[in-house]
Structure 1
Amino acid sequence: MRVLVAPDEFAGTLTAPQAAAAIAEGWRRQAPDAEVDLAPVADGGPGFVGVLHAALGGELVAATVDGPFGEPVPAAWLLAGDTAYVESAEACGLALARDGRAEDASSRGVGELVAAAVAAGARRVVVGVGGTATTDGGAGLLAALGAHADRPLDQGPAALAGLGAVDLSAARARTADVELVVAADVTAPLTGLFGTVRASGVERGIAEERVVVVDAVLEAWARVAGRRAALEPGAGAGGGIGYALGLLGGRTTSGVDLVLEAVDLPARARRADVVVTGEGRFDHTSRTGKAPHGVARVAEAALRPCVVVAGEVLVGAREMRALGVEAAYAVVDDVGAHGALDRAYDALVVTAARVARTWAR
């Protein structure tokens, strides 16, 4: 039997390659003769650059940039040919968040990575946008590229209150000869009922009672910087990093689709008998540009069944089918919530073996 294992990271516990290895180990415990093809994936969030480096080769370039609160953080971007790949989460990911400071978090470090790629001669810069701690409308990114305003742009959304004018000319000139691509994990606009603050602000640490206030700040920011770009699907990716890159002429694409093409997943799915994907939490957001939905679509096109292994499964059978998933299995059902977090790799092995008992032949 041929099994294609293509999970995303299990946020906070396992990288995508670690998750793939655990699923493969569990499957082989139950079906030792299975041919298992490991294809870890990403959707633009954490792991984006690592997965693409494994698939495309190229040169990883080390950098030190400003973290979300101005502290130096190590990061790396990938240069493959004349295309650079940047991972926003390396500069301002949720792992760098600080309790109580969500409204001070800046995307400046992402702009510094883009600037480094442009300075190195990249003609195309693809920015993976997902898993960030920032909700600053990409203002910090623009500041790093030379934008100026009458309020600080690189001190988070709190500092944008009262903004009256912004000059993007230097940032636009700096990126004028470069194709900018936003590899987004969501299709949310910048503001409004389905905007980035209402969709993910609390997850990033914004207090519930402040969600409306921060959304209004971003609405005002968009009125000054450019309203039309704020309405585009994906403008809300990364707390507005998608919006900022759109102001510079960037176009938005699906991060997971970009990765799946790079790892040649369609051809690999056609060679498999079953496709296994996964992530930390399989819930309603999984259909908005996340990896499992993308993998399931590839499996469906190849006429192969797709099953999900996740830390938690929070969707019902009907929604699961709508996503193109045959079945989903939760690690917490086998080992409990503490076991899923404290012994993440071993717990995933156990659940993968349970999946194989049903699907191996």
Structure 2
Amino acid sequence: MWDATLARVRVLICPDKFAGTLTAVEAATAIAEGWRAAMPGADTVLRPLADGGPGFLEVLAAALDGSTVPVRTVDPLGRPAAGQVFTAGGTAYLESAQACGLHLLTGAERDPKITTSYGLGLLLAAAVETGARRVVVGLGGSATTDGGAGMLAALGAAPLHADGYALPYGGAALAGVDSLGGVPRLRGVELVGATDVDNPLLGLHGAANVFGPQKGATRADILLLDAALERWAGVLQTLRTCPPGLAGLPGAGAAGGLGAALLALGGRTESGIGLVRRLTGLDEALDAADLVITGEGSFDHQSLRGKVVAGVATAAAERGLPCLVLAGRVGAGRREAAAIGVTEARSLVEHFGDERAAMSRAAEGLRAVAARLARQWTQ
């Protein structure tokens, strides 16, 4: 056990969101409150994080000196939704989940055959209008598998059938796509997709197969969507900005194929947690820390690949720092967690003994678990 009784403890608190319950900012605040309640002399530094999914803009707005522009957009079913563009230092930041997010739909509404990324296109168009020369799009948590077709339609390049009519929204319609009805209006901006996955667009590890089930896709839907995305990739290859071998590029399958659309528009992908880590000054905070606390709603096998917790734990291990994980539930094995640098993991489900309470009383649970850990780690 690490002995910190004789020093002023510097605790770095840098969680991701707890999906469906707390934002990253709220989670960090609750953990800090619990730790300070048990150890009033602790020096707590908060660096809430995101990997490109829901909460991406909130985390950046808390860390950077910039301004937020409200934007009217639509959700995955075309209903009115509120979105934002955050600008700082000549760069505009977007969050695809504000328009395409799975959290915007009820369970019964989830159907990637018909959901659209059109709303993200409206956000991207608004970002271009701010005059930014660089646009970073957070990719994650999407309800769509349309390969960014809706987004391109909003930018003036609607997917067309061979007969010349514009296709309806959704991934299934792309089975009949033949061409694009225009050129995307982007005014030469640099595009970056911030993502936490490196999946290709097609195949067993592609957008439909890996992420389709959580979006409501059946096995038959997955086969249909994968074939439709293959046809769509052929159309995207007609863009002069599209790189060769688009469908197999890492990150092309991010956010239901939005990664492929951004790559086809001449953009590139970047690690979401890597970008946030740099912009929030996480490395400097790690260098000054004695102990690191991170967390997320579900710490499981997916957390071990490119997610916030993995990024934080690895960076902590590089510095020889203990890294504690507080999560809604813990599904990752102890050895797997230790391999990426996690010293100890605690869950709210374990604390409450009930998953419903863990969801409804997440902030309370984080304060209690953090207080208990503070006493344990400072004996």
TM (normalized to structure 1)? 0.95
Report what 1:231 is aligned to: 248
Kindly provide the CA deviation profile for residues 60-108 of structure 1, in whole angstroms up to 9, marking residues without a partner as x: 0000012111111011111112110001011111121242442211111
Kindly provide the CA deviation profile for residues 32-53 of structure 1, in whole angstroms up to 9, marking residues without a partner as x: 2211111101100111111111
Report what 1:352 is aligned to: 370
Kindly provide the CA deviation profile for residues 301-352 of structure 1, in whole angstroms up to 9, marking residues without a partner as x: 3321211111111111121122221121111001120110121211222222
Structure 1 residues 147-156 or 333-342, which shifts more?
147-156
Report what 1:157 is aligned to: 171
Equivalent position to 1:5, from 5, 13, 16: 13
The AA in structure 1 aligned to 2:360 is D
Shift of 1:210: 2.2
Q: State the alpha-carbon separation in 2 of the partners of residues 303 and 142 from structure 1.
A: 46
Kindly provide the CA deviation profile for residues 213-237 of structure 1, in whole angstroms up to 9, marking residues without a partner as x: 2222212221332372221111111
The correspondence of residues 214-225 of structure 1 with structure 2, limited to 5 A, is 214-225=225-236
Partners of 1:41 and 1:256 within 8 A in 2: yes
The AA in structure 2 aligned to 1:143 is A
Change beyond 3 A, Cα 1:121–1:329? same
Asked whether 1:38 is paired with 2:60, we answer no
Q: Secondary structure of 1:260's match?
A: helix
The AA in structure 1 aligned to 2:171 is P
Partners of 1:266 and 1:299 within 8 A in 2: no
Q: State the alpha-carbon separation in 1 of the partners of residues 91 and 12 from structure 2.
A: 28
Q: State the alpha-carbon separation in 2 of the partners of residues 176 and 356 from structure 1.
A: 52
Asked whether 1:278 is paired with 2:286, we answer no
The AA in structure 1 aligned to 2:189 is V
Partners of 1:7 and 1:278 within 8 A in 2: yes
Change beyond 3 A, Cα 1:360–1:136? farther
Kindly provide the CA deviation profile for residues 114-139 of structure 1, in whole angstroms up to 9, marking residues without a partner as x: 11111221100000001111111111
Q: State the alpha-carbon separation in 1 of the partners of residues 119 and 305 from structure 2.
A: 26
Partners of 1:139 and 1:154 within 8 A in 2: no
Partners of 2:100 and 2:144 within 8 A in 1: yes
- In structure 2, runs of 5+ residues without a counterpart are 1-8, 238-243
Report what 1:170 is aligned to: 183
Asked whether 1:113 is paired with 2:127, we answer no
Asked whether 1:243 is paired with 2:260, we answer yes
Equivalent position to 2:57, from 38, 49, 54: 49
Shift of 1:277: 0.4
Shift of 1:154: 5.9
The AA in structure 1 aligned to 2:20 is G
Asked whether 1:338 is paired with 2:348, we answer no
Partners of 1:86 and 1:127 within 8 A in 2: yes
TM (normalized to structure 2)? 0.90
Q: State the alpha-carbon separation in 1 of the partners of residues 321 and 346 from structure 2.
A: 18
Q: State the alpha-carbon separation in 1 of the partners of residues 149 and 260 from structure 2.
A: 9
Q: State the alpha-carbon separation in 2 of the partners of residues 199 and 359 from structure 1.
A: 39
Q: Secondary structure of 1:299's match?
A: helix
Asked whether 1:125 is paired with 2:143, we answer no
Q: State the alpha-carbon separation in 1 of the partners of residues 372 and 245 from structure 2.
A: 49
Shift of 1:160: 1.6
Q: State the alpha-carbon separation in 1 of the partners of residues 58 and 260 from structure 2.
A: 24
Counting matched residue pairs gives 358
The AA in structure 1 aligned to 2:169 is Q
Q: State the alpha-carbon separation in 1 of the partners of residues 375 and 259 from structure 2.
A: 42
Determine what percentage of the aligned residue pairs are the same residue: 50
Larger Rg: 2
